[in-house]
Chain A
Amino acid sequence: MATVFSQYAWLVPAFPLAAFAILTAFGRGWSRAGAWIATLASLASFALSLIIAIERIVSNAEDYVGGFDWLRAGAVNLTAGYEVTNLTALMLVVVTLVAFLVNLYSLGYMGEDERMTVFFSYVALFTSSMLGLVLADNLMILYVCWELVGVCSFLLIGFWYRKPEARAAAKKAFIVTRVGDLGLLIAILLLFWYMPDHALDFASLHNVFHTQSGIISTSITTLIALLIFVGAVGKSGQFPLHVWLPDAMEGPTPISALIHAATMVAAGVFLVVRTFDIFQASQAALDTVAIVGAFTALFAATIGLAQNDIKRVLAYSTVSQLGYMMLALGVGSTTAAMFHLFTHAFFKALLFLGAGSVIHAIHTQDIREMGGLGSRMKATAWTFGIGVLALSGIPPLSGFWSKDAILSAALEKSPWLFAVGVLTAFFTALYMARLFFLVFTGKARGDAATYARAKDAPWTMTIPLIVLAALAVVSGFVQTPMSGWLGSWLWSGEAKEHAEGVAIVASVAASLLGIYLGWLIYAKGTIRRDAVSSRLPWLVKLLERKYYIDELYELLFVRSLRGLGKALAVFDDVVVDGAVKLAGGAVAGLGRLNTRLQNGQVQTYGLVAVIATVVLVLAIAGRRFW
C-alpha cells in the first residue's frame, strides 16, 4: 500500500537545515530568538517523523524511494535520493526526538553562553546531516552525510575553543574518525568497482549480495565488509579507535547526550545494518564484528570502573554498549542490535542530561567531590536512577529486554561470547551503581557553600529528563520474547527471535549482583573502597590510565607522524621554496648578466654581433648534419 506522508520525508532534514541557514545568516545578536527557532524546527521534524512512522505502523506500507539524478558520466549514474523504509522511519523518530529534547534542554544549559546562537546553528546542522544519513538511499549520499556529521562533531566538541583541552579533543575526534572514514571510502570505491552498473544504492546491494549470486568473490566481499566495519569502528568508538570518545566529553553536555550517546555513534551500527547483506555473505566478517564488539564491551566496562569524571564514566559506558550492539550484529541478529540502539538512545541521553543537570548545579565534574545530591535535586536523582536501572538491565525496564535479546542471540552462536556479555553486564551494573551512590547518596564531600546552593534545574532542563525517563521505562515492550513486534515490523516478517531462559536468568543475576556489590562498597561501606586499590594498586592504575592506550598511540603514531611532518616541512622549505626562489633568482641573475652586456662599449656590442652571427650560421647550416 502506498503512503501519503513518506514522500514528504525530505522535509525532515530540511527543517533543521533551514534553521541552520537562518541562524548562520542572521543570527548574530539574536540569542534567545535564534535558539527558539532551532528548537521549533526540530519539533517540526519530530512531528513529521512521528506522522510518517505512525502511518507506516498502521498501514503495511511499502518502501518509498525518491530523489533525483545527481551525476551522469558515461555508464555511471549517481543519484541523490532518500529512502523511507520501516527501519529508516524508526531511526527518524529516535533522532528527531532526542534532538528536540536536547534542543529544549540546551535552552537552559547554554542559556548564559554568549555564543548560544552559534551552538544552536551547529546542532541544527548536525541534526540535518544525521537525518540525511538515515534517509540516504545510496552509499555516496550516506558518505557525504557521514562526513558532515563528523565535521559537526568536531565543531561542537571544540565549541569552547578557548580551552586547549577542547581544541585537542576536537582534533583527536576528527582525526581518529578520519582513519575509520578512510576504510569506508575504500569500501565504497571497491563496491563502485565491482558492482554491476557501478550501482551504489542499497536496493542494488541487496540484490547482489542477498541472493549470493556469486558476482563478487568471497574474498572481495570479506574485504569490503571489513572495510565498512572499519568505518563503523571509527564512528562508533570501538577498539582500537575508541580513544576519541572519552576525550569528546570536553564538549558541552547536551552535545555529549545528542551526538556521543544517541545518534552519531549509532551511525556506525546503522551503517552495518544497512549493508548487512554484505556481512551476511561473509562469515569471517561477521565473526570479526562479534569479537571486536565483545572485546570492546568488556574492555570499556573495566575502564569505566576506575574513572572519576562523571561524564567519562558515561562515555566508557557508551563505548561498552556500542560493543554490545556490534556483538549482536556479529551473531547475526540485526533486530537485537536495532532494539538496543533504540533503547540505549533514550536511557543514555537521559543519563547524560542528568549528569548535565548535576554539573550545572555543582560546577564540578569530579565525582569524588560530589555526594548527597539526592536530597537536594529530587527530580534529577529519580530520573537518573531510572536510567541507571535501565542501563543495568533490570526488568521490566527497556534495557533489560534489549540486552536480553542480544545475550540470547549470543548464546545461540557461541558460549564464549555469551560469557563475555554476562561479565560485561556485571561490570556495567557495578560502575553505574558506583556512580549513582557516589553522586547522589552519602555525605556531601565537596564545597559546602556550593552544595547548599544546589537545586534542581529549570523546567526546560527537567522536562526532557522526565520524558526520557518515561521512554526508558516503556520502550522495551516493543520487542519482548513473547511478542516480537519490532523485529517483524523492521524486516517485514523474517524469522522471529526467541529468548533462552538461561540468558534471562544469567543477565538478571549479573546485574543484581553488580548493583548489590556497588551498594555494599559505596553506599553501605561494608567493603572498604580501597579494598582493591590497596592490594592491587597497579591494576587500578592500569584501569585509570585506560590501559595506557593513549600513550601507546602517542608513541607509535603521533611521534612518527609529527617527525614526518617536520621532515616534509623542511622539504617544503628547502626544495619547493628553493625551486621558487631559484626561478626568481635565475631571472635576477640573468638580468645582472645582461647589465654587464649593456655597458655602452661598442666592442662589446660587436662581440655579441659576431657570436650571434656564428651561432645563427651554425644553427641554420648545421642542420644538414643531423
Chain B
Amino acid sequence: MSMLASYLTLAAVLFCIGLYGVLTKRNAIIVLLSIELMLNAANLNLVAFSKYGVVPSLTGQVFSLFAMTLAAAEAAVGVAVLIALYRRRATVNVDEFDELRR
C-alpha cells in the first residue's frame, strides 16, 4: 500500500462522512458544513496526486486553490440564502422545506 493509496483512502472516508451528514442532518447550517467537508476531501485528493501522482507537478495544488475559493464563495451564498429563507419561514429545519412536493 503506497502513500498515495493511504491519502486517497482518508479522503474517501472524509467524503463519506460528509455525505452522511448532508443526507441526515436536520439543521441547514450543518448540511452546509458537511458539504464543506466533502469539498475538503476532494481537495485532499488533488493535493495528494500533485505529489504522488504519475507526473508530480504543482497543477494539483493550483487546482485545489481554486476549489477552495469556490467553496468559500459557495458557503457565503449558501448562508445568505439560508438567512433569507429563515426570515420567511422562521425555521432552519431542512425537512420543513418541502414545497417541491406540489
List the interface of chain A (C-beta within 8 A of B).
598-603, 606-607, 610
Contact = CB atoms under 8 A, between A and B. Distances in A.
A600 B101 contact: yes
A361 to B, nearest CB: 85
A610 B101 contact: no
Contact of A600 (B19, B22, B98): B98
A326 B36 CA distance: 102
Given A600-B98, A602-B94, 14 more contacts: A599-B98, A599-B101, A600-B97, A600-B100, A600-B101, A600-B102, A601-B94, A601-B95, A601-B97, A601-B98, A603-B31, A603-B94, A603-B95, A606-B22
A603 B22 contact: yes
A601 B101 CA distance: 8
Nearest to A605: B100
A194 to B, nearest CB: 73
Nearest to A602: B94
A618 to B, nearest CB: 16
19 contacts: A598-B101, A599-B101, A600-B97, A600-B98, A600-B99, A600-B100, A600-B102, A601-B95, A602-B94, A602-B97, A602-B100, A603-B22, A603-B94, A603-B95, A606-B22, A606-B23, A607-B23, A610-B19, A610-B23
B24 interface: yes
Contacts of B94: 601-603
Interface in B1-39: 19, 22-24, 31
Interface string B64-102: 000000000000000000000000000000110111111
B97 to A, nearest CB: 7
Q: Which of A603, A606, A607, A610 has the most CB of B within 10 A?
A: A603
Nearest to A595: B101
Contacts of B23: 603, 606-607, 610
Nearest to B22: A606
B15 to A, nearest CB: 11
Nearest to B19: A610
A607 B25 CA distance: 12
A600 B23 CA distance: 14
Contacts of A602: 94, 97, 100
B27 to A, nearest CB: 12
A603 B24 contact: yes
Contacts of B22: 603, 606
A606 B97 CA distance: 14
Q: Which of B24, B100, B102 has the most CB of A within 10 A?
A: B100
Nearest to A603: B23
B12 to A, nearest CB: 13
Interface in B36-82: none
A424 to B, nearest CB: 90
A593 to B, nearest CB: 15
A603 B95 CA distance: 8
